[in-house]
Amino acid sequence: MATIDNLDADIASLQARLATLHAHRTNLTSVLLSQPHLSTRLQAPASKPSSNTDPALLAITQQSTRNHSNIHRACAGVTAYKVRDPDPHAINDGAILGVSIDVALSGKFIETYHALLNWVESNNGSKTLRIHKHTIPPCIPLQALANKYLPTAGKNGDEEVQQDLVRFGRSLRKELVSWHLRVRAIDALRKEANLTAPKPEYTEPHKVLNAFTSDDEDEASSEAEEDDAPARILDIEANTAARQVMVTWSDRRTAMLSVSKDGRVEKAVCKMRDGARDAEMSRKALGPIGGLVKRLKA
Amino acid sequence: MATAPDNKNVPHSHRLPTTHREVQRTFTKLSRQSLVSLAQQWLSKKNRDFCKPYLLSDRNDAEDEDDEEIYEPAQSYEELQETYRELATRKGGRREVLDRILEGDWRTGISMYQLATAEIQYLLDHPNALRWTAKRLTKIANVRSAVTDMEVTNDSDHLPRFQAQTFMSNLARELTPLMKAHYLMTRIKTSPMTILRVYIHDSPYSTESSLAADTSSTDSAKAVFFVWPNGSPFVYSSLATLTGQVVGDDGRHLRDMVQQAIPKAFSRPSARYQLTSTNFTTKSLDALLTYRGPGKSNAATGGWSIFQDHSFSQNALDFITTQRGDGRDKVGAEKNTSNGVTKPGPGRPKRVAESTETPEAKRRKAVAAGRFGTSAQADDGQGLERFEVRIDDSFPSAEGRETVEGDTSNLEARTNTKTKKGRPSLLDRTAEDLEQIQSEEGWVPNVRVSFQGTHVFAGIRQLVEEGLVDGEKMPGWMTGEAGVTIGAVKEGRIRSKGGVPGI
C-alpha cells in the first residue's frame, strides 16, 4: 500500500511540476511574441512573400492584438469592440457593437460585463442602437439606463431620437462599480464583526442536507441568550443589490438599513429585543457604510 | 370546541394524522438521508414548538401501557436528537426511519410545518420534479410620475422591494377572506432563491379537525410553490403535483388566486406591480436560474454564453494567447478556435481521439461550438424539455431558393379544418396577429414547430455536430439564444416586445 501511496504522491508532484513548467512556457511565449519588430525580423531573412497563413506571423498578430486590447481595457474601463452574430437572420448581417466594462477593485480586475448592441437604420439614415444581448445582472437598472440614454423611436419611427452611447457606458459602469463596491464594503463589515464569510456549499448541491437557512444560527442564538456577556453581532446580511442590510445581534436586537448607491446608510430602523424602536441607535447608524460596525458598537 | 368560520391562517403547529393522504404521499418519497436531516431539523430548539414529538411525558396515565408498542417514546428531546444523530451515521433502509417518524416519534400527527419542510426538501432533492412557469413582476407605469419612475438616481430602486415579513403579512391579508392556507417561506442555502409554499385549505374553518377531514375530497394538488431568485424581478410558480396526478380546475383556480395576490402583496402606494408572462416554462430549476435568474446569464444564452463565462473576455491583465498546456479540456480549446478569438497555437500536438475524426466532422463541431458557445451541453442539467415556435413568415414563393420538402397540397386544407380541442394554446394567433399577417403579401400558413426531449438544445447541438442540421444556416432561435420556451418567429427571429432582453 505504501508504495502505491508513494507513487501517487510522486505522480501528483510531477503533475504539479508539469503545470508550473507549462505556465512558465506560455508566459515566455507571450513575452517572446510581444517583442517589438519581431515580425519584420522574421520576415527579412525568409524573403518570400509574406503569407498570412504563416503560423508564426499569426501568433504574432494575435499576441499584439491581445496586448492592444488589454491595454485599452485596463486603462479605459469601458471599451467597444465589434463582433458578428452567427445568426443568418440577424439584423445588419449580424454586425454587433460590443461594449465591455471592466470592474477593477483594489488592484485586481474582478469582472467583465458586456452589452451587445445592434442597430437599425431609420429613414433619414441615422442609426438607432438597441441592446441585443448583455451580461448585466438584473440588479443593475439596465432598462432604465437604456431608456434614458438609448431611447428608440416609437412604432411610427418618425420622431428623431437622441442617443448617447458614451454616457450610457459611463453611467452603466458607474452602477456596476458602485454595486461591486457596496458588496465589498459589506464583506468588510462582516469581517470587522468577526463573522466568517458564508460560503454556501455550492460544490456538492446534492450532498447538502438541511438547506433551510433559518436553522443555521440555531445553536448560536440559543446559547447566547443565556449569558450576560455584551451582545455581539450574529449576522450581517444584504440583498443581492446590496441596498438593504440587516444586522442581527445575539440579544435579538435587529437593524434594517437602507443603503444608497454611493454607499451611505440613508435610513435605519433599529429595534430592541422587545420590538420597540431604538431611535438613538438608528441615528447612529446613519453615515458612510464603511464605519457602520464601529458606529453601532460605540 | 366551536367550529365557527374564522379569519385566521392555518398555523404551523396544526397536525395532520399520519395516515392522511398528503402526509403519506410526501413522506414515502423522501430518501433516508433527507428524512433523518428533517427530523433533526424539527428537533432543534427553535422548531420544537410546532413539531412536537410524542414523548414519554405525553403518555396519558389512564392509558394502558401498550406492550405491543414498537417504538418506545423517548424521555426528552435530547434523547431523540441523539437517536437521529445515531441513525444518520448508520447505514440502513429508508423504511426504518420512515416508520420511526410516522409510527413512533410523531405518531400523534405531522404538523403543517413538518409537512411543508418535507415537501420543500423533496423539491430540493429533485429539482426537476415540478413544472415551473417564470413570471416577471413589472411596475405599472404611473401616469403622473412616468418620468421619475424610470430615473436612475443615487437611491432609486428598480426592482420590487422584497421583505419577507411584510410580504407574508400582505399576502395573508389578501388571501384569508378567500381561503384558509398554511404558508411557509424559507431561504435556501444551496442556491440563490427564496421558496414560498402555500398549502391551500379550501374550507371556511382553520381548525385542526377540518384540516384532517378533507381527505375524502378531490385528489387535486393542495400546495403551490413560488420561488424568488434573489435580486431579480422574476417569480417562478408551480402547482405541486405528484407524478400522475391530474391538475384539476379547482387546483388551477386556487393557484391563480394566490398568483393574483402576489403582485398586490408587493405593491406599495405609488408603486404598483403586476405579473407578466416571460414565455418560459420548464421543469428544471437550474435552467430557470440560468434563463431567468439573478446572474449574468439571462440575456446571454445560446451562443452568447461565451460572454458570460470568461472564454471571450479574459482578465484584462492576462496576456497569454497560446493554449495553456495540453491538459486543458478539449471543450475550452474548441470554443476558442471557433470564435476566431484565438487560433490554435502552432504545432500544437493533437490528441489521438481528435485525429480519428474526419475534417468534416471537426468542422461541424467547430460550427456547433460557434453557434452554441458553452451552452447546450447534454450534462449541464439545464435541459428544457419543450420548446415551441410559431412561424409567422410568409410562405417562400416558388422562385425562392428554399425548397419545400414533402407534400404541401393538403396543408391549407388542414389548417382550415378546426379539429383542435382543449385549451387554447398560447401560440394561437390573436386577432391582432391575424390582421398583421393579412396585411402582408404572400401566404402565411399556420406552421408550428415543437421540440421535445430531455434537453432540447443539447439535442439540436448534437444534430448539428452530426451534420443533420446545417449549423451555418440554422436560425438563431434554434440555439436557445432567444431565452424563451414559446415564441413566434418573424423574419427568422423570435419576436420580442422591444426593450432590453433578460431583465
Q: What is the pLDDT of residues A111-138, one digit of tens each?
A: 889 999 988 877 667 778 888 889 999 8
Residue A168 CA to residue B334 CA, distance in Å, equals 34
Instruction: Name every chain B residue with its beta carbon within 8 A of the beta carbon of A59.
Output: 321-322, 343, 345-346
Contact A86/B371, CB-based, under 8 Å?
yes
Instruction: Name every chain B residue with its beta carbon within 8 A of the beta carbon of A174.
Output: none
What pLDDT sits at residue A199?
47
What are the structural domain ranges in chain B?
A: 18-58+69-108, 127-142+158-291, 302-372
Instruction: Name every chain A residue with its beta carbon within 8 A of the beta carbon of B338.
Output: none
Q: What angle do CA A265, A271, A274 make, to 5 degrees?
A: 175
Ramachandran assignment for B347, one of left (phi > 0), alpha (psi -120 to 50 degrees), beta (any other): left
Residue A14 CA to residue A190 CA, distance in Å, equals 40
As to burial, measured by CB atoms within 10 angstroms (0-12 exposed, 13-18 middle, 19+ buried), residue A188 is middle
Q: What is the pLDDT of residues B297-323, one digit of tens each?
A: 888 888 888 888 777 777 777 777 765
Which residue ranges in chain A fall short of pLDDT 50? Answer: 199-209, 214-226
What pLDDT sits at residue A13?
94
What pLDDT sits at residue B340?
38
Quickly state the pLDDT bin for B5 (edges 50, 70, 90): low
Residue A270 CA to residue A248 CA, distance in Å, equals 10
Nearest CA in chain B to A100: B313
Q: What is the pLDDT of residues B416-468, one digit of tens each?
A: 434 444 555 667 777 777 777 666 667 778 888 899 988 899 999 999 988 88
Quickly state the pLDDT bin for B371 (edges 50, 70, 90): confident
Which H or E element spans position B487? strand B486-490
pLDDT at B347 exceeding the cut of 50: no
Contact A135/B300, CB-based, under 8 Å?
yes
Contact A210/B158, CB-based, under 8 Å?
no
What pLDDT sits at residue B138?
86
Size of interface A-B (CB pairs under 8 A): 229
Higher-pLDDT residue of B472 and B219 is B472
Of B121, B151, B298, the CB nearest to A138: B298
Residue A149 one-letter amino acid: Y
Parallel/antiparallel/unpaired status of strands B386-391 and B486-490: parallel
What pLDDT sits at residue A14?
94
Quickly state the pLDDT bin for B244 (edges 50, 70, 90): low
Instruction: Please compute the mean of the pLDDT values over residues B143-166 and round it to a whole number.
Output: 72
* DSSP, res A290: G
A275 at the B interface (CB within 8 A)? no
Of A30, A213, A260, the CB nearest to B188: A213
A180 at the B interface (CB within 8 A)? no
Residue B51 CA to residue B100 CA, distance in Å, equals 15
Instruction: Please compute the mean of the pLDDT values over residues B177-191 and round it to a whole number.
Output: 83
Residue A156 CA to residue A184 CA, distance in Å, equals 46
Contact B159/A138, CB-based, under 8 Å?
yes
pLDDT at B4 exceeding the cut of 60: yes
Residue B404 sits at φ, ψ, to 5 deg, of -100, 125
Of B156, B319, B501, the CB nearest to A70: B319
Residue B344 one-letter amino acid: P
Window 142-171 of A: residues touching B by CB (8 A cutoff) are 142-148, 152, 171
pLDDT at B67 exceeding the cut of 50: yes
Contact B294/A131, CB-based, under 8 Å?
no
What pLDDT sits at residue A7?
92
What pLDDT sits at residue B64?
52
Q: What's the number of CA atoms in the CB half-sphere (13 Å) around residue B492? A: 13
Instruction: Please compute the mean of the pLDDT values over residues B224-239 and round it to a whole number.
Output: 87
What pLDDT sits at residue A18?
94
Residue B111 sits at φ, ψ, to 5 deg, of -75, 165
Out of B4-18, B259-273, B274-288, least confident range: B4-18
Percent of chain B whose pLDDT exceeds 90: 0
Distance from CA of B60 to the nearest CA of A (A): 31
To the question of domain B127-142+158-291 being in CATH 3.60.90, the answer is yes
Residue A101 CA to residue A79 CA, distance in Å, equals 7
pLDDT at B149 exceeding the cut of 70: no
What pLDDT sits at residue B337?
37
Contact B319/A136, CB-based, under 8 Å?
no
What pLDDT sits at residue A70?
86
Q: What angle do CA B383, B384, B387 make, to 5 degrees?
A: 150
Distance from CA of B190 to the nearest CA of A (A): 6
Instruction: Name every chain B residue with its beta carbon within 8 A of the beta carbon of A100.
Output: 313
What pLDDT sits at residue B221?
57
* Of A167, A163, A143, A165, nearest in space to A153 by CA: A163
Of B190, B319, B498, the CB nearest to A66: B319
Instruction: Name every chain B residue with its beta carbon within 8 A of the beta carbon of A104.
Output: 316
Instruction: Name every chain A residue with its beta carbon within 8 A of the beta carbon of B48.
Output: none
Contact B192/A240, CB-based, under 8 Å?
yes
Instruction: Please compute the mean of the pLDDT values over residues B40-51 and round it to a whole number.
Output: 82
Contact A134/B370, CB-based, under 8 Å?
no
Of A113, A210, A222, the CB nearest to B37: A210
Q: Are A276 and A283 in contact (CB under 8 A)?
A: no
Of B317, B346, B476, the CB nearest to A55: B346
Of A29, A67, A144, the CB nearest to B158: A144
Q: Are B311 and B335 in contact (CB under 8 A)?
A: yes
Out of A152-161, A219-228, B246-255, B378-387, least confident range: A219-228
Nearest CA in chain A to B125: A206
Q: Is the dihedral of CA B23, B24, B25, B27 positive or negative?
A: positive
Higher-pLDDT residue of B357 and A3 is A3
Helical pair A55-76 and A38-46, crossing angle rounded to 10 deg: 170
Q: Are B347 and A57 in contact (CB under 8 A)?
A: no
Which H or E element spans position A131? strand A127-134
Q: Are B276 and B136 in contact (CB under 8 A)?
A: yes
Out of A160-169, B212-221, B329-338, B419-428, least confident range: B329-338
Quickly state the pLDDT bin for B248 (edges 50, 70, 90): low
Q: How far out from the chain centre does Cα A237 lie?
A: 19
Among B319, B326, B375, B436, the residue to mutate for chain A (most A Cβ within 10 A): B319
Residue B85 CA to residue B39 CA, distance in Å, equals 10
Out of B143-147, B185-189, B223-227, B464-468, least confident range: B143-147
Instruction: Name every chain A residue with its beta carbon within 8 A of the beta carbon of B487.
Output: none
Q: What's the number of CA atoms in the CB half-sphere (13 Å) around residue B308? A: 24
Among A209, A234, A260, the residue to mutate for chain B (most B Cβ within 10 A): A209
Q: Cell 461541424 appears where?
A: B364
Instruction: Please spell the DSSP secondary structure of A208-228, one letter per residue.
Output: ----BGGGTTHHHHHHHHHS-
Distance from CA of A7 to the nearest CA of B (A): 20
Quickly state the pLDDT bin for B414 (edges 50, 70, 90): very low
Instruction: Name every chain B residue with its beta carbon within 8 A of the beta carbon of A119.
Output: none
Distance from CA of B118 to the nearest CA of A (A): 10
A222 at the B interface (CB within 8 A)? yes
Residue B467 one-letter amino acid: G
Window 478-497 of B: residues touching A by CB (8 A cutoff) are 479, 481, 491-493
What pLDDT sits at residue A212?
60
Distance from CA of B125 to the nearest CA of A (A): 7
Contact B158/A19, CB-based, under 8 Å?
no
Higher-pLDDT residue of A131 and B353 is A131
Q: Are B152 and B218 in contact (CB under 8 A)?
A: no
pLDDT at B368 exceeding the cut of 80: yes
A64 at the B interface (CB within 8 A)? no
Of B152, B190, B307, the CB nearest to A145: B152
What pLDDT sits at residue B65?
56
The CA distances from residue B277 to A116, A133, B281, B330, B354, in Å, are: 24, 20, 10, 39, 45
Q: Which residues of A78-97 are buried (b: 16+ CB within 10 A; e: fewer)?
A: bbebebebbbebbbeebebb
